[in-house]
Structure 1
Amino acid sequence: MILQNPVYAALTGPHASFAEVRGNARRYPEAVAPFLGLPGEPTEADWADAAELLGPDGVGALMRPEFEVPDSIKLDQVFDLVQFTAPADLPAADPEAVVLGADDVPEMLGLIALTDPGPFRSRTIELGTYLGIRRDGELVAMAGTRFSLPQYVEISAVCTHPSARGQGLATRLVRAVAATITATARAPFLHTGGTNTTAQRLYTSLGFTISNRMKVSIVKAV
């Protein structure tokens, strides 16, 4: 199933132009995202290509259901993720949401550092459309699209400044980002941490359904 291996589906599909490639292994440039992609059933040769792609000091994040790594790869950390797919009635444009661009990246990185919704780097904005809500000129909430698959697009970087929480801004932005996705005739999906019960409750309340239990495995070449 394509959603069980979203990084590889993106890097061999709509995001192929971003891919750093060795054999069947794919990765995003470090300034874009930390993710590494491999086929659904990687061979020894695929793992060897991944190790070469990472290099002696490189680190990659594999996102997929639980799997075993060979001796040529060091498993550094593993995190649980829950993957959700969106209901058909989720999308709703928001008049207060503005498209964020390259000039907004420093402020976006500041909001990410404050709220820690997941990896977001200096060039992550290139992966899709990011929307924000400003109050008195300050960026107080944002969300956007990250992995782009043939039939799906991921909603990512959903975060709200602590001073603006409890106002429903995350819900509004998730709906607004979903509207940009369905406009391309694809369906929204997203991931949240396995221990982030607050986010899981939010997405469930919006009608999202669990599609997969995932792992993010941080790996290094031995």
Structure 2
Amino acid sequence: MTDLSLLDDPAWHALTTDHAALGQRNGAAARYRAELSPIGGLARYDAEAFAELRPLVAPEEAVGLVSAARYELPAGWELLQAVPVFQMVCEAPSPMPDNVPVQLTRADAEEALALATATEPGPFRAGTLGMGRYFGLRSEDGRLMAMTGERMRLGQLTEVSAVCTWPEFRGRGLAKALVAHVSALIAGEGRVPFLHVKTENAAAIALYEKLGFVVRRELTFTVVRPA
């Protein structure tokens, strides 16, 4: 049976198991390499763990932490943002859709970054495509209309991430097709897809529910940096 308790601190568990090679670790702190993602995780949320995180964060750089833990930042750290998110899990994904997207490669990184920067689906950098399989749907003239892919990987769980569509292409069911495709791929490997969505994003939540996702619990995505 899948251990969903790992999802209370998904980045920490990813960075200390399946994704250890994609990050850096210092004691009770870990983070993805800066070119991949600003996301990090802690084994516990106390002053000692934050002290061990500090050497992993460059001057003026911020790091994102997603956790179910309630904590106060220790002295020497600044809170930039705290966003409540629902963590949703899908143990019975929808069938693979008919329109099969194309898998993105490093050659698509600039175009993918432009899409993510414009639509803000969550932390995304030029190297994020290297964290898992990412897929896109293109218009007849070759433009990347929408994309979705895999981010954190831990235990028997894989995160669906970077669900985004250019505004002019919305309303065509592109996000639905992409999330269904990625979720079906993950499930086909015997793994469980999960994702994070802002609690205020009712439209996205409704879409994910139609695809078989259910809310597991509320977490907080915090962006912090050394003061």
2:181: which partner in 1?
176
Matches within 5 A, 1:158-177: 158-177=163-182
Per-residue CA shift, 1:85-117, capped at 9, x if unaligned? 014132415443111101111111121122221
Structure 2 residue runs without a partner (length 5+):
none
Aligned-pair distance for 1:168?
1.0
Kindly indicate whether the alpha-carbon contact (under 8 Å) linking 2:80 and 2:225 is maintained by their aligned counterparts in 1. yes
Say if 2:154 is the partner of 1:154. no
Say if 2:85 is the partner of 1:75. no
CA distance in 1, matches of 2:127, 2:85: 23
- The residue type equivalent to 1:129 in the other structure is R
- The residue type equivalent to 2:39 in the other structure is F
2:65: which partner in 1?
62
TM-aligned CA distance change 1:76 to 1:145, over 3 Å: same
TM-score by length of 1: 0.93
- The residue type equivalent to 1:29 in the other structure is R
2:193: which partner in 1?
188
CA distance in 2, matches of 1:16, 1:100: 23
SS in 2 for 1:144: strand
1:32: which partner in 2?
36
Per-residue CA shift, 1:147-167, capped at 9, x if unaligned? 011110000011112222111
2:121: which partner in 1?
117
Kindly indicate whether the alpha-carbon contact (under 8 Å) linking 2:93 and 2:213 is maintained by their aligned counterparts in 1. no
Aligned length: 221
Structure 1 residue runs without a partner (length 5+):
none
1:47: which partner in 2?
50
SS in 2 for 1:213: strand
Per-residue CA shift, 1:150-200, capped at 9, x if unaligned? 110000011112222111111111010012212322100001112211111
Kindly indicate whether the alpha-carbon contact (under 8 Å) linking 2:180 and 2:211 is maintained by their aligned counterparts in 1. no
- The residue type equivalent to 2:206 in the other structure is R
- The residue type equivalent to 1:165 in the other structure is R
- Aligned partner (choices 20, 23, 31) of residue 19 of structure 1: 23
Kindly indicate whether the alpha-carbon contact (under 8 Å) linking 1:141 and 1:159 is maintained by their aligned counterparts in 2. yes
Per-residue CA shift, 1:37-80, capped at 9, x if unaligned? 101x3443222101222244331111012322222322222111
Kindly indicate whether the alpha-carbon contact (under 8 Å) linking 1:35 and 1:62 is maintained by their aligned counterparts in 2. yes
- Aligned partner (choices 212, 215, 219) of residue 210 of structure 1: 215
Deviates more, 1:88-97 or 1:1-10: 88-97
- Aligned partner (choices 6, 28, 50) of residue 2 of structure 1: 6
Deviates more, 1:66-75 or 1:81-90: 66-75
Displacement over 6 Å in runs of 4+ = none
CA distance in 1, matches of 2:210, 2:191: 22
- The residue type equivalent to 2:61 in the other structure is G
CA distance in 1, matches of 2:105, 2:224: 31
- The residue type equivalent to 2:122 in the other structure is G
Calculate the aligned-residue CA RMSD, in Å. Answer: 1.5
1:221: which partner in 2?
226
Kindly indicate whether the alpha-carbon contact (under 8 Å) linking 1:141 and 1:161 is maintained by their aligned counterparts in 2. yes
TM-score by length of 2: 0.91
TM-aligned CA distance change 1:94 to 1:130, over 3 Å: farther
Between the two proteins, what is the percent identity of the paired residues? 37
